[in-house]
């Protein structure tokens, strides 16, 4: 193996091209000036896996959640994987080999994970030069590390292109001083309440809990990371919020649920992850509901078009429905009545959401078949109290 004399001065892409040219088998260790470390694994010049950074466990959990794999990893599988250096890759291999998951979502997870890590490596390299360390190994080393038959080979050139594009967009929005691994925090709740609307204030207080990074929150709320981070940065510049460092999760904190090789229709009904539907034409309300319920361990089905609600409800069979009154085309009372008239849905509890707390609304909600009534703006404790009541 011929190692370039100026390897530590090369960019990430230059390093990877050199490894590809040398048909390198082994591990590339990358160390940043702030002691973040990443490990890249290669087989004959082709990248198989990448892992590390400041939040490896957060990233792992986020990836599983993003590709609907979180409920398919159980404690027994975690325990078996601990003997391997690449324990997470071993888990992905088992999910495929035991037909617990299809190969495609896992290939997407591997690529998406690589793009995210490339973003961090390149951002660190722009701020301070990273250190690159080549460790030539045998193919047997990869086997012992948990990298058995490669699930896929990572196109590092495409990963690099996407990461650079994402970083360029990030910088153009004025976010270059911040990492998406930082967590947004409210500085002064009283000042914030004076500066923003009541619903924005409520959302900030509920969502910005100092326990989730920008990346975590964007996945939880199904938001575009760039747009979400930029929208918060406006309040950072006003001195209402700040972006702060938070620790990684520990392996013990990863939520685990039983794995039974569930089908797509069955996986919504796992013991600890019942499905709750929210029918509301407001994307903001939908995102808030999703965040609150996902965090509490429930799956969430958001429906923003009342005319499409019945077919989706029949397909997914939720355990509970939250239904907004004031929707265009068909109001909540009408839809509630139609749900009660549908044999496959008639027994599902329905909670009406409204901004009006008038007695006539409560009476009309009951007459249309609603099980309960909840006022807006939605609050975490009230939502969860209703969920516990019916589930």
CATH of the domain at 236: 1.10.10
Q: Are residues 69 and 101 in the same domain?
A: yes
Residues 102 and 137 occupy one common structural domain: yes
For residue 377, say if its preceding peptide bond is cis, omega within 30 degrees of 0: yes
Predicted pLDDT at 11: 83
**pLDDT value at residue 1:** 47
Q: Which pLDDT value is given to residue 74?
A: 75
Between CA 223 and CA 361 the distance in angstroms is 33
Whether 163 and 185 map to the same domain: the answer is no
Ramachandran angles phi, psi of 101, nearest 5°: -140, 155
Range of the domain at 215: 180-248
Q: Taking CA 335 as the corner, what is the angle to CA 331 and CA 336, rounded to the nearest 5 degrees?
A: 115
**What is the Cα–Cα distance from 322 to 374, expressed in whole angstroms?**
9
Q: Domain check: are 165 and 193 in the same one?
A: no
User: What Cα–Cα distance (Å) separates residue 157 from each residue in 4, 38, 163, 344, 389?
Assistant: 20, 18, 10, 50, 52
How far is C-alpha 381 from the chain's CA centre? 23
Q: How far is CA 33 from CA 27, 30, 39, in A?
A: 20, 10, 16
Residues in the chain: 391
Whole-angstrom distance, CA of residue 168 vs CA of residue 164: 6
Q: Specify the pLDDT at position 281.
A: 82
- Residues 190 and 121 reside in one and the same domain: no
**Residue 100 and residue 240: Cα distance in Å, rounded?**
45
Give, in degrees to the nearest 5, the angle at Cα 226 between 108 and 111: 15
User: Does residue 256 sit within a domain?
Assistant: no
Residue 148 has a pLDDT of 80
Claim to verify: residue 232 and residue 270 sit in the same structural domain: no
Residue 138 lies in a domain: yes
The answer to whether residue 319 is domain-embedded is yes
148 assigned to some structural domain: yes
- Residue 237 is assigned to a structural domain of this protein: yes
pLDDT score of 361: 64
Q: Quick one: 188 and 311 in the same domain? A: no
Identify whether residues 212 and 165 lie together within a single domain. no
pLDDT, position 261: 31
* Among 389, 171, 199, 115, CA closest to 276: 389
What confidence score (pLDDT) does residue 259 get? 32
Single out the residue in 142, 171, 200 at which a domain terminates: 171
Q: What is the CATH number of the domain that holds 370?
A: 3.40.50.2300
User: How much is the pLDDT for 364?
Assistant: 77
pLDDT at 3: 46
Pair (74, 154) in one structural domain? yes
Farthest-apart Cα atoms in the chain, separation: 81
Q: Which of 189, 219, 248 is the last residue of a domain?
A: 248
150 and 287, same domain (yes or no)? no
Per-residue pLDDT of the chain (391 residues; tens, 9 = 90+): 444 444 455 788 888 999 999 999 999 999 988 889 999 999 999 999 999 999 999 999 899 988 888 778 877 788 888 889 999 999 999 999 988 889 999 999 999 999 999 999 999 988 778 899 999 999 889 989 999 889 999 999 999 999 999 999 999 999 999 999 999 999 988 898 888 887 778 778 878 877 889 999 888 777 899 999 999 999 999 999 999 999 998 764 454 333 333 333 433 444 346 899 999 888 778 888 888 898 888 999 998 888 788 888 988 899 999 999 877 767 888 899 999 999 889 999 999 988 766 566 677 778 889 999 888 888 888 999 999 999 8
Between the alpha carbon of residue 320 and those of residues 2, 233, 340, 366, the distances in Å are 62, 36, 13, 16
Number of domains in the chain: 3
Residue 253 lies in a domain: no
Question: Is there a single domain that holds both residue 158 and residue 50?
Answer: yes
What CA–CA distance (Å, rounded) separates 85 from 244?
30
Q: Are 58 and 248 in contact (CB under 8 A)?
A: yes
117 and 44, same structural domain? yes
Global pTM value: 0.66
């Amino acid at each position: 193996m011929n190692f370039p004399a100026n390897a530590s001065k090369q960019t990430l892409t230059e390093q990877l091209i050199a490894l590809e040219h040398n048909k390198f088998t082994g591990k590339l260790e990358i160390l940043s000036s702030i002691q973040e470390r990443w490990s890249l694994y290669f087989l004959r010049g082709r990248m198989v896996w990448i892992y590390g950074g400041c939040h490896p466990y957060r990233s792992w959990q986020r990836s599983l959640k993003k590709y609907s794999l979180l409920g398919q990893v159980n404690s027994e599988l975690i325990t078996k994987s601990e003997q391997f250096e690449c324990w997470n890759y071993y888990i992905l291999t088992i999910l495929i080999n035991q037909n617990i998951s299809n190969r495609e979502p896992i290939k997407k997870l591997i690529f998406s994970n690589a793009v995210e890590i490339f973003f961090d490596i390149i951002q660190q390299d722009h701020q301070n030069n990273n250190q690159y360390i080549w460790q030539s190994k045998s193919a047997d080393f990869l086997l012992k590390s948990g990298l058995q038959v490669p699930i896929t080979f990572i196109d590092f050139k495409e990963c690099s292109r996407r990461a650079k594009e994402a970083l360029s967009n990030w910088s153009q929005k004025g976010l270059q001083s911040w990492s998406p691994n930082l967590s947004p925090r409210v500085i002064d709740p009283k000042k914030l309440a004076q500066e923003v609307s009541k619903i924005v204030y409520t959302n900030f207080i509920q969502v910005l809990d100092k326990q989730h990074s920008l990346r975590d929150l964007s996945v939880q709320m199904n938001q575009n990371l760039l747009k979400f981070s930029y929208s918060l940065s406006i309040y950072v510049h006003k001195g209402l919020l700040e972006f702060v460092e938070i620790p990684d999760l520990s392996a013990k904190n990863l939520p685990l649920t039983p794995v039974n090789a569930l089908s797509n229709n069955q996986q919504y009904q796992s013991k600890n992850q019942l499905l709750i539907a929210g029918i509301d034409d407001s994307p903001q309300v939908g995102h808030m509901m999703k965040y609150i319920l996902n965090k509490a361990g429930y799956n969430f089905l958001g429906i923003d078009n009342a005319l499409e609600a019945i077919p989706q409800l029949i397909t997914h069979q939720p355990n509970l429905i939250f239904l907004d009154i004031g929707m265009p085309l068909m109001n909540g009372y009408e839809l509630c009545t139609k749900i009660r008239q549908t044999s496959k849905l008639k027994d599902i509890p329905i909670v009406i959401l409204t901004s009006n707390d008038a007695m006539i609304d409560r009476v009309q909600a009951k007459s249309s078949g609603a099980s309960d009534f909840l006022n807006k703006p939605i609050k975490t404790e009230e939502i969860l109290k209703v969920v516990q009541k019916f589930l």
